């Protein structure tokens, strides 16, 4: 999985293995759930399985998605640009202002204004309000209704109540609502957020490789010699598709790994019927392994066995049980 990709010299072999395992797990997830896209934007619960995969193999979600995109499995599409906490990656913050001199948050804003009606000049924040919450001019007690008409803003400055400094702009900082980390604009992660479209053909090709590899490993562990095969010629001379050929002590078994490639369930059912046809036309044993595809679609030939499940893990587990029983 890591062929053709450059990594820093500090990347260890174990890290490369973890990355390859994480990408394989992501392929299983997107194929078995027939996903068209992956949305990992903040607050999207659909991103949780992807995060769980990354955490399981000790890598970041960003690395998992970026490396999957390099392999063509995913295609990124920008959807937003957000500020992230550098510690916990949260995007929820409380905004604070602090004094640029001493760093205190005990600062106040003073807005200088003029009341056009009576000519009063003063600090807007120091004006009084009546019982209904209306802002009144301290001089003539008339309501300040609309800025630019009966009153105008002259300017704004800030003052620190602790050190007494005055300044034009306070120093803003963010406090993460999740972990409490305080950051300014220099420490914040300001990043593009992507939605990822799944390339179903590439995902299906990788899934098929994983399927064949895992089945081969199980059969080999029970003494079978396994070779890949794209097709076989049956007794009638008709070429039929097959995934693997397993042989042991003169016995031969044709293995069919079936799943909805690119989400096409009907094509997967046709592959099941292809396996049935091959079994009818070939006296050897046949083993049909299917994920998310019914294997009982018609009367089954006597020389074909089938194992089906909702996931590849489930099918592999049942295959192990079957081989363990035969060994007893």
Domains for the chain: give ranges and CATH numbers: 100-169 (no CATH), 202-327 (3.40.1350)
* pLDDT given at position 169: 92
State how far the Cα of 286 lies from the Cα of 276, in Å rounded to an integer. 9
Query: Digits of tens for pLDDT over the chain (328 positions)?
Result: 333 344 444 568 888 999 999 999 999 999 999 999 998 887 776 678 999 999 999 999 989 999 999 999 999 999 999 999 988 888 899 999 999 999 999 999 999 999 999 999 999 998 988 888 899 999 999 999 999 989 999 999 999 999 999 999 999 999 999 999 999 888 888 988 899 999 999 999 999 999 999 999 999 999 999 999 777 766 666 777 899 999 999 999 999 999 999 999 999 999 999 899 888 888 889 999 999 999 887 788 899 999 999 999 999 999 999 999 887 6
Closest CA to 223 of 248, 187, 250, 199: 248
Which tokens sit at 286?
């046949």
pLDDT at 2: 39
Give the model confidence (pLDDT) of 233-280 as tens digits. Answer: 666 667 778 999 999 999 999 999 999 999 999 999 999 998 998 888
Q: Dig out the tokens for 155 from the structure.
A: 């300017």
Number of residues that make up the chain: 328
State the CB neighbour count (10 A cutoff) for residue 112. 14
What pLDDT score was predicted for residue 5? 42
The encoded tokens of residue 180 equal 């409490």
| pLDDT given at position 328 | 62
Q: Which residues of 182-207 are buried (b: 16+ CB within 10 A; e: fewer)?
A: ebeeeebeeeebbbbebbbebbbbbb
**pLDDT value of position 225:** 96
Contact call for residues 217 and 225 (beta carbons, < 8 A): no
Pairing of strands 74-84, 189-198: antiparallel
Helix, coil or strand: residue 92: coil
What does the block give as tokens for 5?
């990709």
CA 22 – CA 54 distance, rounded (Å) = 6
For residue 168, the model assigns a pLDDT of 92
* Cα–Cα dist 29/129, whole Å: 60
DSSP, res 103: -
């Amino acid at each position: 999985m890591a062929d053709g990709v450059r990594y820093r010299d500090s990347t260890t072999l174990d890290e490369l293995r973890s990355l390859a395992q994480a990408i394989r797990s992501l392929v299983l997830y997107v194929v078995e759930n027939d996903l068209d896209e992956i949305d990992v934007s903040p607050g999207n619960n659909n991103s949780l399985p992807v995060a769980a995969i990354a955490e399981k193999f000790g890598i970041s979600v960003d690395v998992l998605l970026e490396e999957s995109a390099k392999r063509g499995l995913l295609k990124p599409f920008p959807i937003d640009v957000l500020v992230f906490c550098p510690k916990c990656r949260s995007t929820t913050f409380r905004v604070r202002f602090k004094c640029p001199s001493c760093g205190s948050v005990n600062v106040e804003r003073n807005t200088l204004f003029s009341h056009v009606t009576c000519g009063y000049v003063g600090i807007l924040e120091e004006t009084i309000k009546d019982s209904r919450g209306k802002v009144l001019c301290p001089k003539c007690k008339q309501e300040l209704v609309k800025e630019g008409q009966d009153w105008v803003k002259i300017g704004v400055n800030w003052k620190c109540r602790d050190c007494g400094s005055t300044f034009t702009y306070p120093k803003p900082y963010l406090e993460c609502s999740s972990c409490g980390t305080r950051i300014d604009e220099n420490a914040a992660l300001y990043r593009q957020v992507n939605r990822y479209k799944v390339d179903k053909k590439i995902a299906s090709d990788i899934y098929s490789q994983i399927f064949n590899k895992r089945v081969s490993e199980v059969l080999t562990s029970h003494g079978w010699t396994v070779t890949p095969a794209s097709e076989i010629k049956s007794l009638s001379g008709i070429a039929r598709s097959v995934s693997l050929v397993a042989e042991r002590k003169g016995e031969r078994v044709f293995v069919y790994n079936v799943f909805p490639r690119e989400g096409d369930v009907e094509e997967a059912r046709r592959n099941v019927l292809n396996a049935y046809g091959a079994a009818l036309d070939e006296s050897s044993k046949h083993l049909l392994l299917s994920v998310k595809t019914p294997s009982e679609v018609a009367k089954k030939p006597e020389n074909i066995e089938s194992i089906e499940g909702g996931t590849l893990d489930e099918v592999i587990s049942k295959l192990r049980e079957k081989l363990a029983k035969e060994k007893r």
